[in-house]
Structure 1
Amino acid sequence: MKTNLTKAVLMATGILLGGSAFAQNTDSGNAQYVPPFSPSSSFRTWSIGVNAGILSSYTPFAGYNADYHRGDIKLGYGAYIKDQLSHSWGIQADFLRGEVAGHQADFGSLGAFKTKLSWAGDIVGNFTFANISWRNQQNGIQLYGIGGVGYEQYQATSTLANGSTVLAAKDKSFYFPVGAGIKFQLSQGVNLDLGYTVHFSNADNVDGYAANGNNDKYGYAHAGLEFALGAKSKPQMAAHNPVASMRHEYVVAEQNLQSEVDAQKAQNAQLRSDLDATKASLAATNANLAKFTADEDGDGVPDFFDKCPGTPAGVKVDGSGCPLPVAPPAKVIITEEDRRIVREAIKNLEFDFGKATIRAHSYPTLERVARLLIDKNFSLKLAGHTDNVGSDDANMRLSKDRAESVKSFLVSKGANPSRIEATGYGETQPIASNKTAKGRQMNRRVEFTLF
């Protein structure tokens, strides 16, 4: 028995090691990617499996069968269909056939037994313990465990110590399968399935002998293939790694953000380069503009075009910056009529006694003089004189005031004040004797001189 178990273990180990050679399709670059929080329709959830292996009454739980102390290795085979409800949980329907055998009973006349499992079917929950890898989108290896309830039909044949056999009637009972296993993903749709399940029967006669009130149990070690159903473009849900998908989203988002940052940096660098080029161009333009707008002598013609630099301030220049020819002053022609108008104004000019107030009857002739100054742009000199009555200072002030009074009247009528000069001479320039009243009258005067 130990030899047979050793061979079975070596065979399973060989399959395990061989299967690991095919479990290298975990590279995230080759995995079928599904974004996080995608619906179950994005995956292949249904699968079927076939397997074959060894059935033995020996189990890790309490050793051999309670009625027989040695277990024989027999062939078993089965199949299942599974629906993966989530990444870690699925529901599975199993079918199993085969034989369970044992020998060496220490009581009565029993020597060995062999039980034919006509069929055994169960519904189990399949829990995936580990399908998370931080490096891969899908995992090449999945650890799982199962547990549930089933129903089986069996018929036992007992061999007595004298070599005769006893065939028991067919019987049925519930059982509770508990097991674990490991799957290796050979391709996107095919897994190598290695597992071990213990069937805890709800009966004590599976081995053909009911004694001691202890229910029988047996183990099934199998190797098989699982085939995922559905579109080949979809990954298996049980093999898919949701954590790696979330990490992938984070990495992609980080890469996209970094790309955007790099693009923005490049754009900013280009903008800075363009701005520097624009500044350089603007500086060159300003330099050229300064060359064309500088006017050192202030004559209104830029130095670049000024053919006569250094023109004195106030001198009128032409477009080349050279002084314009000075036109000779227009010749002033004073007609006899002009002189007559002035003579009449002088003749009619009277002031209040001892004052500079012009009497009203003198206004009309003075207005004609103002009009003459405006129309012909003449210049006029007003000279005020007095007789010798009174002090010299008083006479000087009075003569000046009377000349200024005439100027103010002419300016009020529109004459140009810059062309009228008013001067007082007092009693210094008599034109007649001051010893007579007539002479003194002649000396009290304001002379008009056109030019």
Structure 2
Amino acid sequence: MNYSTLKKTAALSIASLLVVGMANAQTDSTKTATTTTSSETSTAKVFGGIGQYNTFSIGISAGVTDGLVPFSINSTNKFKADLGYGVSLRQQLSHTFSLQLDYLGGKVHGIDKEGTNKYGYTEYKTSYNAGALSGVFNIASVSFLHRKNSVNFYGSAGLGLSFYKPKSYTDVNGNTAAYTNTVKELFAPVGAGVKFRLSDAVALNLGYTVNFVQGYNFQGFHTYPQQNHYSYTYGGLEFTLGSKSKQNLTWVNPVAQMYDELYDAALRQEVEALKGRVTNVETAVSDLKKDSDGDGVADQFDKCPGTPAGSVVDGSGCVIVFPKPDSSLAAKPVATAYSNIQFEFDSSVLRTSSYPVLDATSADLRSSGKKVEVDGFASSEGTAAHNMQLSKDRANSVKTYLVNSGVDAKKVKVKGYGETMPIADNSTEEGRVTNRRVQFKQK
């Protein structure tokens, strides 16, 4: 097979792949537009992470190369196709972005149809091998018309290292020369393409890439200050790597995925169950608040249902019966000055019931100018030392009250006797209560 036949075969193969890819994509689009099968329903969750998908794929490509590039200054001006090929490994990092590692190889053939150019050469042939890392951006990755994307448009840009060797270059006089060594230069591939989904595991890629070489001698002759470049028009197949149970992230439609998750049967059952529980709670709360007789006590706690309106009830909903006033209690007893002041167990805090006696005592001391000794006592619980200090604290509490009410502090003397000098039996609770006291001694 000669070289011309090889190029024709490659072109025919690419055309065949394009027809097959478009037919499969159209069939798949029609299928997804008319019916939704269980295999097309996403089992992945919207925020479930990238691990839910297959993200790696490997691709092969073949196509034609040429030294002519649109919208640029070219060293030759006649289209002359040659063979290019490539292998790629790609990882999809999101719905719209992936990283791709490429190996590219082939030949570039340039020719000047007018027989000369500004560099003094008419033709060149260069072979190359190159590797590059590129970012690939899905320009259109979401279809609002179909559940699964079938056609993706993408752009790419990257940076790599190219090893090339000009096999021959011819000047205007017909002299031909060639490089004996391979040249190594950085290059930047920039391209665009379209991808057709043939199945969940196979895709057809068609694309066009311009490779900008940093050097000035890709054609063999120097083209300074114009850097060199060449194009690669290709078709190829891409194969998904990973479990068959996972989707390829490249073809996932986030809109359809959110719809599927929202209408997932299990999720809807959970929502309905939750609504039922909320209804039960609302009913229980309504029952707790129900008050049939309007007395302010819920029926569940009302022990006296049917209370007449306007009745004053207790916490159980029963009417409170107020006793008639006792005329014998109409006149409050007058507090007697200098009566004993009682205290709670292990406490030196004055009771409010002691205030009337203290007020009467204060009034008498202020009006008469008498002096008084305030003696504190305690019951027998605890140690003798503790009770001694407690009795002094109780006496000081009484003195503080008297002084704050206007009695001259110099006329009030304080003593503590602890648990000594009890006036009742400390072996009984009644006796101990009586012994927790302060007594007044008038002078």
Q: 1:253 to 1:32 in 2, by over 3 A?
A: closer
**Distance in 2 (alpha carbons) for counterparts of 1:126 and 1:32:** 27
Greater gyration radius: 1
CA displacement, residues 208-230 of structure 1 (integer Å, 9 cap, x when unaligned): 11134100111101111101100
Matches of residues 170-249 of structure 1 in structure 2 within 5 Å?
A: 170-249=182-261
Partner residue in 2 for 1:138: 148
**Distance in 2 (alpha carbons) for counterparts of 1:108 and 1:78:** 31
Do the aligned residues in 2 keep the contact of 1:132 with 1:244 (CA within 8 Å)?
no
**Distance in 1 (alpha carbons) for counterparts of 2:131 and 2:55:** 21
**Distance in 2 (alpha carbons) for counterparts of 1:58 and 1:108:** 15
Matches of residues 386-401 of structure 1 in structure 2 within 5 Å?
A: none
Instruction: Output the amino acid matched with 2:134.
Output: V
Do the aligned residues in 2 keep the contact of 1:135 with 1:244 (CA within 8 Å)?
no
Matches of residues 417-436 of structure 1 in structure 2 within 5 Å?
A: none
**Distance in 2 (alpha carbons) for counterparts of 1:255 and 1:56:** 56
**Distance in 2 (alpha carbons) for counterparts of 1:32 and 1:59:** 44
- Measured on the aligned residues, the alpha-carbon RMSD in Å equals 3.1
* TM-score normalised over the length of structure 2: 0.53
1:19 corresponds, among 18, 21, 25, to 21
TM-fit CA distance, 1:252: 4.4
**Distance in 2 (alpha carbons) for counterparts of 1:78 and 1:6:** 18
Partner residue in 1 for 2:309: none
State the SS of the aligned residue for 1:71: coil
Q: 1:77 to 1:32 in 2, by over 3 A?
A: farther
Q: 1:32 to 1:93 in 2, by over 3 A?
A: farther
TM-fit CA distance, 1:21: 0.5
Structure 1 segments, 4+ long, off by >6 Å, are 5-11
**Distance in 1 (alpha carbons) for counterparts of 2:189 and 2:138:** 16
TM-fit CA distance, 1:203: 1.2
Unaligned runs of 5+ in 1: 265-451
Matches of residues 305-316 of structure 1 in structure 2 within 5 Å?
A: none
Partner residue in 1 for 2:111: 103
CA displacement, residues 303-348 of structure 1 (integer Å, 9 cap, x when unaligned): xxxxxxxxxxxxxxxxxxxxxxxxxxxxxxxxxxxxxxxxxxxxxx
Q: 1:146 to 1:185 in 2, by over 3 A?
A: same
State the SS of the aligned residue for 1:70: coil
CA displacement, residues 157-196 of structure 1 (integer Å, 9 cap, x when unaligned): 1023344420024211111111011111111111011111
Partner residue in 2 for 1:56: 66
1:125 aligns with 2:135: yes
Matches of residues 346-357 of structure 1 in structure 2 within 5 Å?
A: none
Instruction: State the identity %.
Output: 34
Partner residue in 2 for 1:152: 162
Do the aligned residues in 2 keep the contact of 1:25 with 1:31 (CA within 8 Å)?
no
CA displacement, residues 363-384 of structure 1 (integer Å, 9 cap, x when unaligned): xxxxxxxxxxxxxxxxxxxxxx
**Distance in 2 (alpha carbons) for counterparts of 1:170 and 1:255:** 63
Matches of residues 260-299 of structure 1 in structure 2 within 5 Å?
A: none
Q: 1:45 to 1:112 in 2, by over 3 A?
A: same
TM-fit CA distance, 1:106: 2.2
1:45 aligns with 2:47: no
Task: Report how many aligned residue pairs link the two structures.
Answer: 256
Partner residue in 1 for 2:78: 70
Do the aligned residues in 2 keep the contact of 1:145 with 1:179 (CA within 8 Å)?
yes
State the SS of the aligned residue for 1:18: helix
2:95 corresponds, among 77, 82, 87, to 87
Do the aligned residues in 1 keep the contact of 2:17 with 2:204 (CA within 8 Å)?
no
Instruction: Output the amino acid matched with 2:202.
Output: V
Do the aligned residues in 1 keep the contact of 2:10 with 2:63 (CA within 8 Å)?
no
TM-fit CA distance, 1:13: 6.3
Do the aligned residues in 2 keep the contact of 1:87 with 1:240 (CA within 8 Å)?
yes
Instruction: Output the amino acid matched with 1:21.
Output: A
TM-fit CA distance, 1:39: 1.5
Do the aligned residues in 1 keep the contact of 2:14 with 2:236 (CA within 8 Å)?
no
Do the aligned residues in 2 keep the contact of 1:32 with 1:235 (CA within 8 Å)?
no
**Distance in 2 (alpha carbons) for counterparts of 1:31 and 1:113:** 52
TM-fit CA distance, 1:15: 4.2
Instruction: Output the amino acid matched with 2:176.
Output: T
TM-fit CA distance, 1:22: 1.1
TM-fit CA distance, 1:37: 1.4
Partner residue in 2 for 1:161: 172
TM-fit CA distance, 1:10: 9.3
**Distance in 1 (alpha carbons) for counterparts of 2:196 and 2:58:** 15
Do the aligned residues in 2 keep the contact of 1:32 with 1:234 (CA within 8 Å)?
no
Q: 1:59 to 1:9 in 2, by over 3 A?
A: farther
**Distance in 1 (alpha carbons) for counterparts of 2:119 and 2:61:** 38
TM-fit CA distance, 1:75: 0.4
Do the aligned residues in 2 keep the contact of 1:145 with 1:181 (CA within 8 Å)?
yes
**Distance in 1 (alpha carbons) for counterparts of 2:141 and 2:119:** 51
* TM-score normalised over the length of structure 1: 0.52
TM-fit CA distance, 1:111: 2.0
Unaligned runs of 5+ in 2: 1-6, 277-443
**Distance in 2 (alpha carbons) for counterparts of 1:83 and 1:15:** 23
TM-fit CA distance, 1:232: 0.8
Q: 1:16 to 1:183 in 2, by over 3 A?
A: same
**Distance in 1 (alpha carbons) for counterparts of 2:218 and 2:147:** 46
Do the aligned residues in 1 keep the contact of 2:119 with 2:223 (CA within 8 Å)?
no
